[in-house]
Amino acid sequence: MSEEYDFDVAIVGAGPAGIAAALTLARAGIETVVLERGQYPGSKNVSGAALYGPVLHELVPNYWEDDKSFERYLTTKKISLLSESRSVTIDADLRNFSQPPYNGVTVIRPKFDRWLAEKAEEAGAMILPDTMVEDLVWKEKQVVGVKSGEEELKAKLIIIAEGANSLLVEKANLMKKPKPKHYALGMKETYELSSKKIEERFHLSENEGISNEILGHTKGIPGGGFYYTNKETVSFGLILNMDVLTKKKLEAPDVFEEFKNHSYISKLLKDAKMVEYSAHIIPEGGFKHMPKLYGNGVLVAGDAAGMVLNAGLYIEGINFALESGRIAGESAIEILKSNKFNKSGTKLYKKNLKKSFAYKDLKTFRRASHFLENKHMFTTVPDLLTVLMEKLLRNDGKPRKRIVMTAIGHILRKTPLWGMFKLLLGAVRSL
C-alpha cells in the first residue's frame, strides 16, 4: 500500500452491510477497517429481526453449526388483519422450512452483529468501535478518507454502510435531502418469556419459530406490526409511515400503545416482561428513491443505499444489506486490482449489484411503496374482512342467507367502490 493511505478500504458502519463487505475483503487479504460509532457492532442496532437463511449461508457457509448465529428457524408465518375488536389471521405452517440453510431465522441484532463482526475480525479486518465518522476527506473531486473529530483516516476506497438517512451519502453528493414520506419509524420492544412458554403459547416445537405480520389498528397510518419469537424472548414492534404520522399530529408511542392493547396482541404478550425498547428509522422509498450507488472513491450499501423491501408480506432489509455488502466487498477487490477509483472504476459495483436478487427484487416491487401508502389497505380492508367473518360465523337463531350472497351484500354495502377498485388495480400493478 502507498504511504498516502492507512488502509485499502475503510467501511463506515458495522451493521450487516458493513460487516458483510469487511468479511469479504478481509478473506481476500485486503487491508480493511470498519468504523463504528457504537460501543460494539450491534450495540446501536434495532431490528425485528427475521432474516433469510440462504443469504447468510452464502456469506458464512453452514452458519447454523454455530449456535450464536441465530435464535430459532421459522416454520410458521402468520398474516393478521385487525379492526377495532376483531381479527382475522392466515396461518401458514411450513414444515419444509425446517431444514438448513433454513428459509428464515430469527436473530437478536446486538448478538448477531457481534457474532458476524467476530468472523470479519478472525479473517483479518480491523473494527474500530466508538468512532463516529462525521465527514469525508476529499482530494480534489475524489473521496480519499473519512474524518472522526480531529482524526483523519485515509483509504483508497470508502464503503458507506452507515444505515438509514445517511449524511455521508449526501456529503458524497450521491443524494439530495430525502423526504419524510420515504421513511418509516420502526419501534421495537423485547419481551422475556421462557422457551417452554414460547413453545406452548405459539404452538412450536423446540428451536422452531414464528413470524407474524399484522395490518390494521394503526389509526389509519400506513404501516404494520410484527412479532418474532427468539429462544427466550419475543420481539414485538410497529412500523409507521413518518409523513402520515406527522400530518395526523399523532405521537408514535401512543399509536403503539393502542396497538398493543388490541386483544389479539395483548393476550400474546400476557405475563411477559418487557426488557428493552428501541426505535429507528427505515428507508421506504424503494427502488425509485435509491441514491447513486457509487461515486469517486465511494460505494454505498445496505440501508444507506435505500435497500429495504416493504411489499406487505415481507419487510426485508438485513438480507439486502448482507447481499449488497458482500457485492460491494467483491467489487472493491476488483476495483483495487484495476487501480481505478474514480466513477469509471467504481461503477463496476452497480453492474455487479444489478445481477443480484437484491437489486432485482427492489426493481420488481418498485411500485409497492406507493401502493402501501393507500389508506384503504390499513382501514377498509381489515374492517371489511373482519366484519364479514363475524357476519358469516354469527348464529343468531335466524335463517341464514347463502354465504356468497352475504359476502357480496356486505362488500357492496360497506365498500367505497372506487377506492377499492384503485386498491385492487394498485395491487395488480405493484405486487
Ligand X SMILES: Cc1cc2nc3c(=O)[nH]c(=O)nc-3n(C[C@H](O)[C@H](O)[C@H](O)COP(=O)(O)OP(=O)(O)OC[C@H]3O[C@@H](n4cnc5c(N)ncnc54)[C@H](O)[C@@H]3O)c2cc1C
Residues 6+ positions from 251 with CB-CB distance below 8 Å: none
Going from the C-alpha of 32 to that of each of 67, 131, 135, 146, the distances in angstroms are 27, 15, 19, 13
Q: Minimum distance from CB of 162 to ligand X (Å)?
A: 3
Residue nearest to ligand X (CB): 317
* Nearer CB in complex with ligand X: 9/17: 17
Which residues of this protein are in contact with ligand X, per CB under 6 A? 12-18, 35-38, 44-51, 132-133, 161-163, 186, 188, 237, 280, 282, 302-304, 308, 315-319, 321
* Nearer CB in complex with ligand X: 132/425: 132
Q: Minimum distance from CB of 379 to ligand X (Å)?
A: 22
Q: Minimum distance from CB of 322 to ligand X (Å)?
A: 8
Q: Measured between alpha carbons, how far is 303 from 166 in angstroms, rounded to an integer?
A: 8
Q: Minimum distance from CB of 116 to ligand X (Å)?
A: 10
Q: Minimum distance from CB of 189 to ligand X (Å)?
A: 10
Q: Measured between alpha carbons, how far is 223 from 246 in angstroms, rounded to an integer?
A: 14
Q: Minimum distance from CB of 237 to ligand X (Å)?
A: 4
* Nearer CB in complex with ligand X: 329/426: 329
Q: Minimum distance from CB of 376 to ligand X (Å)?
A: 24
* Nearer CB in complex with ligand X: 86/280: 280
Q: Minimum distance from CB of 37 to ligand X (Å)?
A: 4
* Nearer CB in complex with ligand X: 216/302: 302
Q: Measured between alpha carbons, how far is 254 from 22 in angstroms, rounded to an integer?
A: 40
Q: Minimum distance from CB of 77 to ligand X (Å)?
A: 12
